[in-house]
Amino acid sequence: MIRIGVIGYGYWGPNLVRNFSDNPDCRVTTICDSNPHRLALAERRYPGVKITTEATELISSADVDAVVIATPVHTHFELSCRTLNAGKHVLIEKPLTSSSAEAEVLIEEAAKRRLVLMVDHTFLYTGAVRKIKELIDAGDLGDICYYDSVRVNLGMFQPDVSVVWDLAVHDVAIMDYLLAAAPTAVSATGISNPVGLSQSIGYLTCFFEDNRIGHIHVNWMAPVKIRRTLLGGSRKMVVYDDVEPSEKVKIYDKGISVSDNPDAVYQKMIQYRMGDMHAPQLDTREALNAEVIDFVRCIQHGATPLSDGASGLRVVRILEAATESMRERGRPVEISTRRMLSDSLSRLTGAVSDDTGRNKNSHRLCSEFQPVRPR
């Protein structure tokens, strides 16, 4: 029986606690939050669970084997370091960290201690996304030409991150999983509206080496909620609408073919294919439930989770590049691995800028956060 401690019982924390409580292979022993009102709600809902306002107390508890962190992103690195130093597994709410430098340190620390480091990219565990991945891997869609998504709604404005780090992180993670390739450059534009707050509207374009392109539109200022993704394949195309109550994934046997017939006098001839549409049956299990099962399984068997630290790092790299590009009104920013690794080393001992443009000192090493002793 794996004993779970949850830090953060705000917006997402209750969902995490519920799913871990429902899992027969684990037990939630401790819940931490700095807000006494939130803790009172947790105590009424889970009377047998210990509550505390001190994260250090939870991390040091002998009754906790793994820690789930559902707190603002700027706290992720320190809390994760303290947890790993205590010899405990970590599941972190998205995004993994506020910089790629911090993410690389966590990955190295978890590997050194043979602990599970997992990021809460919940959409990777939805039946819809898993089905699309299955279709891509089977070759049913052919070569993927583009990924195009829209994720907009009215609110919720976040005080510490922009709409890119709050909403686009979902689509970046999905794109990373489905395409199984990292973009070479990112161009992004956006605005802060109202002025003075974090960016509330953003447009990201990701460029890949193999002539593929990814585009992501996110917005906190939309009058309606839209969660729609298009994938164009050389054989078939997919529409994924997460707001749709039943047929979330629709596969269209539509596309084009280019004739290279030398008899074509003026130009290559484009031929259009207009076939059927069908909606496959999907796994309707709650995605967070599947994610919890994966986390527990990886702890039990020493396996690597689907949304592991490396996945979280790739996503953070894209978000960093998008933030830099946005500050320069869309200038493409390269995100090659070579560049990121060299930059990370310098940022570990220097200053970095967060997604709102403010400078802050990057944490250096996990070892700076002294391990807490179980009690």
| pLDDT above 80: residue 195 | no
Same-domain pairing of 219 and 117:
no
User: Under a CB-based contact definition with an 8 Å cutoff, are residues 358 and 159 in contact?
Assistant: no
Same-domain pairing of 143 and 70:
no
Here the CATH number for the domain that contains residue 213 is: 3.30.360.10
Same-domain pairing of 90 and 189:
no
Same-domain pairing of 97 and 190:
no
Tell me which amino acid residue 293 is: I
Same-domain pairing of 97 and 182:
no
Same-domain pairing of 221 and 274:
yes
> 23: which 2 tokens?
């899992």
The pLDDT > 90 percentage for the chain reads: 78
The pLDDT > 70 percentage for the chain reads: 86
What was the pLDDT predicted at 138? 97
E strand intervals along 213-321:
213-219, 221-233, 237-241, 249-259, 269-278
Give me the number of domains the chain comprises. 2
With respect to residue 100, please indicate whether it lies within any of the assigned structural domains.
yes
Same-domain pairing of 83 and 208:
no
Q: Which residues contact 112 (CB under 8 A, 6 or more apart)?
A: none
Q: Place 344 in a pLDDT band, splitting at 50, 70 and 90.
A: very low
**pLDDT tens figures, 201-253:** 999 999 999 889 999 999 999 999 999 999 999 999 999 999 999 899 999 99
With respect to residue 318, please indicate whether it lies within any of the assigned structural domains.
no
**pLDDT tens figures, 40-83:** 999 999 999 999 999 999 999 999 999 999 999 999 999 999 99
DSSP 353-368: E-TTS-EEEPP--GGG
Helices (H), the chain: 13-22, 36-45, 55-60, 76-85, 100-113, 127-137, 163, 169-179, 287-301, 309-327, 337-348
Q: Place 121 in a pLDDT band, splitting at 50, 70 and 90.
A: very high
With respect to residue 197, please indicate whether it lies within any of the assigned structural domains.
yes
Q: Which of 260, 278, 296 is the last residue of a domain?
A: 278
| pLDDT above 80: residue 348 | no
With respect to residue 107, please indicate whether it lies within any of the assigned structural domains.
yes
Q: How far apart are CA 60 and CA 144, in angstroms?
A: 47
Enclosing domain of residue 97: 2-121+287-305+342-368
* Burial class of residue 364 (count of CB atoms within 10 Å of its CB; 0-12, 13-18, 19+): middle
What was the pLDDT predicted at 194? 75
Closest CA to 217 of 233, 232, 200, 198: 200
User: Under a CB-based contact definition with an 8 Å cutoff, are residues 75 and 10 in contact?
Assistant: no
What is the chain's alpha carbon radius of gyration, rounded to the nearest angstrom?
A: 22
**pLDDT tens figures, 26-44:** 999 999 999 999 999 999 9
Same-domain pairing of 137 and 270:
yes
N- to C-terminal Cα separation, the chain? 19
Q: Which residues contact 197 (CB under 8 A, 6 or more apart)?
A: 157
Q: How far apart are CA 165 and CA 71, in angstroms?
A: 14
Same-domain pairing of 185 and 173:
yes
With respect to residue 321, please indicate whether it lies within any of the assigned structural domains.
no
Same-domain pairing of 10 and 104:
yes
Here the CATH number for the domain that contains residue 297 is: 3.40.50.720
Give the three-class secondary structure for 125: helix
> 283: which 2 tokens?
């796994």
With respect to residue 326, please indicate whether it lies within any of the assigned structural domains.
no
Same-domain pairing of 163 and 216:
yes
Same-domain pairing of 262 and 292:
no
With respect to residue 320, please indicate whether it lies within any of the assigned structural domains.
no
With respect to residue 322, please indicate whether it lies within any of the assigned structural domains.
no
What was the pLDDT predicted at 355? 45
> 343: which 2 tokens?
């930059």
Q: How many CA atoms lie within 13 A of 96 on its CB side?
A: 30
**pLDDT tens figures, 240-276:** 999 999 899 999 998 776 666 666 545 566 666 677 8
